[in-house]
Amino acid sequence: MDFKLNEIQEMVRNMARQAMSGKIAQQAEQIEEEGKVSDELFGIIADAGLLGVCLPEEYGGIDAGHIAMAAAMEEMGKVSGGVASTVLVSISFLESVKNYGTEEQKQKYIPAGIAGEFRGAFAFTEPDTGSDPKQIKTIAKKEGEYYILNGVKRFITNPQYNGPIIIFAKDEGTTNSITAFLVDKGCEGYSLSTAWELVCVHGSQVYDVFLDNVKVHESCILGKHGDGFEILQGTVAHSKVLICANYVGVMATAYEAAVRYAKEKTHRGASIAKFQAIQLKIAQIAGRLQACRLMTMNLAEESDDHEKINRLKAWVGMTKAFVGDETVQVCLLCMNVLGPYGLAKEYQVERNMRDALLMPHVEGVSDMQRVIAASYILYGNDNLV
């Protein structure tokens, strides 16, 4: 495809750029220090229509597609990892309801979610597993029209904000029958740990979620009973598109800082950009950034056809692993261009470098993503390259 954005996609990108440029940009460091994105700042994103970019117009969305959403997410990633993270997970929740929910569930959650009335979340990862559904220990016990959920989820984003959360649980007495449940975060039996202290993305904290006899009506099952792992794979496939775009934004900010520094920093009266060592680094950074951006946009295009979700699962594993590893290398090169100034908080590259460390480990570690992609390449029916 032609990766030049069309009029609607360009409009969405500009909407995101404008939304991020004012109060959010001014409070980016405050977000990092406080570890949260206030309702006021989240409301700026919602008011700009950015929570509904790839959701149907009938529910209040823009229906502009995932390329537009990726362009918007890149702009968010340039300014604040905390904002990008809470928005990403909120959108992933809404997309999951769109793709797998009943009409009643769509009407209940999507319009309100687009309006920013809540921040959705989803919880699969546990202390003993992050990829293998057979290792899930959260149990759903059937009692009449209800299910009783017990277990612990780990490293969950947005569980502290009001709203719904998708909980993946194993049916009692089964080996790998996983069901997805829509649960109110404020319900009886739902509680949180203290926030994990991570080296990165301080503006978006993660928690353990404790489920102690949480009672959920059978009407709150998302999709079909037993389809939880398929729903998880589809949801995470779409969310990985957004996280790749987010980290393209992180790389872009670091790149811009490195170029600016190389032009402004002088040695014996001339810019250090004259040194070939600096030129080589800048060229590497630019090439790697552009490769990641093009792969992400190609992935976004694949995302618009949910009927081809299996092909997306293959592409997303390959792309996410590539972008994850390249993000670390690009930010490290940018820090090297700045030398000791790259370590200073006054220069955002230090934050970019820390945030980059998350990318190879979130939404599936890089090596696992390559294994997933290889399984489709070797045993699937699609030629991916």
Find the DSSP H helices in the chain: 7-19, 25-26, 28-34, 39-47, 66-79, 81-100, 103-114, 228-264, 276-303, 309-338, 349-356, 366-379
Query: Residue 173: its pLDDT value, please?
Result: 84
Residue after which a domain boundary falls, among 222, 243, 276: 222
pLDDT score recorded for residue 331: 97
Rounded-to-integer distance, Cα 295 and Cα 292, Å: 5
Q: What's the rounded Cα separation, in Å, for the pair 20 and 77?
A: 10
Q: Among the options 74, 75, 326, 363, which is catalytic?
A: 363
Residue 246 falls inside a structural domain:
yes
* 183 beta partners: 165
Q: Is the pLDDT of residue 378 over 80?
A: yes
245 and 347 assigned to the same domain: yes
Q: How confident is the model at residue 135 (pLDDT cuts 50, 70, 90)?
A: confident
pLDDT single digits (tens) 63-111: 999 999 999 999 999 999 999 999 999 999 999 999 999 999 999 999 9
Compute how many other C-beta atoms are within 10 angstroms of the C-beta atom of residue 320: 33
Write the CATH number for 237. 1.20.140.10
Q: What is the CA radius of gyration of the chain?
A: 21
Decide if 385 is inside a domain.
no
Query: What would the mean pLDDT of 120-143 be, rounded to a whole number?
Result: 89
pLDDT in tens, 330-369: 999 999 999 999 999 888 899 999 999 999 988 888 888 8
Sign of the dihedral defined by the CA atoms of residues 110, 112, 115, 121, in that order: negative
Q: Are residues 204 and 236 in the same domain?
A: no
Considering the domain architecture, whether residues 298 and 176 belong to the same structural domain is answered as no
Q: In whole angstroms, give the CA distance from residue 218 to residue 142.
A: 9
Quote the pLDDT of residue 302: 82
Structure tokens at 161: 């904000």
Q: Name the pLDDT band for 306 (thresholds 50, 70, 90).
A: low
Q: Name residue 224's amino acid.
A: K
Residues 375 and 239 in one domain: yes
Q: Tell me 184's DSSP state.
A: E
- Average of per-residue pLDDT across 151-171: 96
Looking at the fold, whether 146 and 89 belong to one and the same domain comes out as no
Q: Fill in the DSSP letter of residue 194.
A: P
Q: Is 173 exposed, middle or buried (0-12, 13-18, 19+ CB in 10 A)?
A: exposed
Confidence of residue 375 (pLDDT cuts 50, 70, 90): confident
The residue behind tokens 């709203």 is 163
Tell me what the mean pLDDT of segment 262-287 comes to: 95
CATH of the domain at 147: 2.40.110.10
Considering 114, 131, 147, which residue would you say is the last residue of a domain? 114
Q: Tell me whether residue 384 is in a domain.
A: no
Residue 2 maps to a domain? no
97 and 216 co-located in one domain: no
**Total structural domains in the chain?**
3
CATH at residue 20: 1.10.540.10
Q: What is the pTM of this model?
A: 0.92
Q: What is the mean pLDDT of residues 256-260?
A: 97
Decide if 147 is inside a domain. yes
To the query of whether residue 363 is one of the catalytic residues in this protein, the response is yes
Give CA–CA dist 15/68, Å, rounded.
11
**Would you say residue 87 lies in a domain?**
yes
Is 300 found in the same domain as 257?
A: yes
Q: Are residues 317 and 283 in the same domain?
A: yes
Does one domain contain both 243 and 345? yes
Q: What is the pLDDT of residue 385?
A: 62
**Residues 218, 276: one domain?**
no
For residues 375 and 235, state if they share a domain. yes
Q: What is the pLDDT of residue 134?
A: 73
Residue 238 belongs to a domain:
yes
Is 1 among the domain residues? no
271 lies in the same domain as 154: no
User: With 60 as the cut, is the pLDDT of residue 139 above it?
Assistant: yes
* Domain end point (choices 159, 187, 222): 222
- Structural domain for 55, as ranges: 7-114
